[in-house]
A and B are shown apart, each in its own frame.
Chain A
């Protein structure tokens, strides 16, 4: 099953490679990984998406907790939660019809066109991973020049929180 694990860790060089190294050393897979400092500059929040049986996920969370730089973690998929991912997608648009269609689709998906050139549009889109996949799918008859995705981040609903 797919799990989103959010980790608070010491904002120190090497902390990220400890997490990444753990996954490669123990043969776990990482689908996506995103990391940035939090409002407390001594802490980083890392969110990763992984897949595995319950037993594998249990080991992953235990092994992560064992890393000395990991302060606290939360498996968001065990709680009601919101997940978001951001995508920037650059499309070739060659005529007015194509421009109109991209604008219309972007609007349907609640995206924005954030860059325009003579032959390209860049669309910014936020949502869960399925929604981004669906947008890429719906653009299949366009020439997609490049796609960049942030990786998944998430937050629990209600009172549940990952904080110290």
Chain B
């Protein structure tokens, strides 16, 4: 039987087992919305702004390791989605974003709501397609899901002109797809794995430095096994938190600009660095000239272009992280050789000394609410088991430092692009994927206002998200940099004319709370967490002058941290 393009679109999503579609209708996708209306397998979530649709899909994807799916209209629908697409590209989030396009006959005519979506998104997608014939639609959608979810994942955009969604053809969904120009590597080279294991076992002062690739590759278990087998210290990047249990004694904290003293000092003094699914981002390395001066480096990554991009490595292994780690474990277990215990013991002594600096300390006796205290309490009350999304800035760093993630896929933030406004829609996507779990959005009074309209979406779909707003009346991270590097000239970082967030939350049909004293923090969090069926917006009035420590200033080395 012949189906219309719109019907084919819906059938393809069903074939891909898509249960949730984030979107916003408009002229050029009306046929598709009509086809969605006539089925009940794919649930469509109506956001209030297309950027939020993409962030919500990211939250869905990051918390499940399944692709997030988005549908937007042409023109402004597509351009509004670009920030989210760029965000997903930087953090390697598997997404398939469908955009409507004006009819093929009008393309290039500056038609109403026309924009060159393929051109605009080209630099921030893994790949994109313009469908020019309804006969290509099913195959293109199959390719889009395949490219988005394999190799190094990323967003794929499929631009569909309106006439294609009305045209008809026979529907057949391809079972599998082969692309001669796209063959991501899975298995690591056995010779390289042997060389890596040799180097790893010869280490006297090793550090395992693992990133978001471990989580994307579902390799948390293998990473934990390898780390314990070796008894080596491990640090996680911002994107990699939760891949190794942070409560474990071998975990030395996050590294990088706001990483722990022990993690950064260990990196600086390491003789062998084992980088796994991490990309040597500038927020991790600090000044590249001063980065890990004595280390020989093993780097495991599925993306060959990530290897030796910023830092030259000694033993590169291209392959899927989980597959490579399993091969490494097998190789170690098959041999007799184990790490030399004596230097390792001394190394641990040194690390414990650095640890004893207690670099994350803060004033616990303050009469003002310390943001760190809110997050520690949140951790305790949720047993570190909540899904936590965040926006971008100080609150994001404090969450990374103080929440203490023990499981992968629980920490959902915008790492690479650093997109304010990410947190709330990401929490929506996360909660939709995990209806019965606790989902918390940690945010600030500045970030939350960038996508606050999504409080409406949360109400419509009964999503009992807990919003923890750390309200210091400043764009905190901007203020911190202005304090440190601009002699306290706080240009435009003060958040004047703030709304009353309690009333605002209530206006949206939610529960609002304002918490102004440290003694009320725990009670308020408990009360909010107990409201299993309501979104609660907690407006914590925090210490305005609090800064994120430790900090490696831009251009400095890992051993040149500013401590409190």
> Which residues of A from 57 to 73 have beta carbons under 8 Å from B?
58-59, 62-63, 65-66, 68-71
CB–CB A69/B305 < 8 A: no
Let me know if A18 is at the binding interface, CB within 8 A: yes
Let me know if A21 is at the binding interface, CB within 8 A: yes
Q: A58-B308, A68-B147 are in contact. Are A14 and B130 (CB under 8 A)?
A: yes
Closest-by-CB residue of A relative to B127 is A68
Query: Which of A25, A68, A164 has a CB less than 8 Å from the CB of B126?
Result: A68
Let me know if B309 is at the binding interface, CB within 8 A: yes
Q: Which 10 A-B pairs have the closest CB atoms?
A: A62-B305, A68-B127, A71-B181, A25-B123, A68-B182, A66-B305, A62-B304, A63-B305, A21-B122, A71-B180
Q: How far is the CB of B286 from chain A (nearest CB, A)?
A: 20
Interface size class of B (residues with CB under 8 A): 20 to 34
Q: A59-B305, A63-B305 are in contact. Are A68 and B118 (CB under 8 A)?
A: no
Interface of A with B (CB < 8 Å)?
9-10, 13-14, 17-18, 21, 25, 55, 58-59, 62-63, 65-66, 68-71, 164
Interface of B with A (CB < 8 Å)?
118-119, 122-123, 126-128, 130, 147, 179-182, 303-305, 307-309, 312
**Chain A residues with CB below 8 A from B123, complex form:** 21, 25
Closest-by-CB residue of B relative to A60 is B305
**Chain B residues with CB below 8 A from A66, complex form:** 303-305
**Chain B residues with CB below 8 A from A164, complex form:** 180
**Chain B residues with CB below 8 A from A18, complex form:** 122
CB–CB A17/B305 < 8 A: no
Chain A facing B: main interface SS: helix
Closest-by-CB residue of B relative to A14 is B118
**Chain B residues with CB below 8 A from A14, complex form:** 118, 122, 128, 130
**Chain B residues with CB below 8 A from A17, complex form:** 119, 122
CB–CB B181/A68 < 8 A: yes
Q: How far is the CA of A93 from the CA of B122 in the complex (A)?
A: 48
Besides A25-B123, A59-B305, A68-B126, 17 more A-B contacts (Cβ < 8 Å) are A10-B181, A14-B118, A14-B130, A17-B122, A18-B122, A21-B123, A58-B308, A62-B304, A62-B307, A65-B305, A66-B303, A66-B304, A68-B179, A68-B182, A69-B127, A70-B181, A71-B180
**Chain B residues with CB below 8 A from A71, complex form:** 180-181
Q: How far is the CA of A155 from the CA of B60 in the complex (A)?
A: 48
CB–CB B118/A9 < 8 A: no
Closest-by-CB residue of B relative to A64 is B305
Q: How far is the CA of A106 from the CA of B409 in the complex (A)?
A: 69
Closest-by-CB residue of B relative to A18 is B122
Q: A14-B118, A68-B126 are in contact. Are A55 and B181 (CB under 8 A)?
A: no
Q: How far is the CA of A69 from the CA of B127 in the complex (A)?
A: 9
**Chain A residues with CB below 8 A from B181, complex form:** 9-10, 68-71
Q: Which among B127, B181, B307 has the highest number of chain A CB atoms within 10 Å?
A: B181
Closest-by-CB residue of A relative to B128 is A14
**Chain A residues with CB below 8 A from B147, complex form:** 68
Q: How far is the CB of A35 from chain B (nearest CB, A)?
A: 16
Q: Can you list 19 A-B contacts with CB-CB less than 8 angstroms, sorted by A residue number?
A: A9-B181, A14-B118, A14-B122, A14-B128, A14-B130, A18-B122, A21-B123, A25-B123, A58-B308, A62-B304, A63-B305, A65-B304, A66-B305, A68-B147, A68-B181, A68-B182, A70-B181, A71-B180, A164-B180
Q: How far is the CA of A18 from the CA of B128 in the complex (A)?
A: 10
Closest-by-CB residue of A relative to B307 is A62
**Chain B residues with CB below 8 A from A65, complex form:** 304-305
**Chain B residues with CB below 8 A from A70, complex form:** 181
**Chain B residues with CB below 8 A from A63, complex form:** 305
Closest-by-CB residue of A relative to B179 is A68
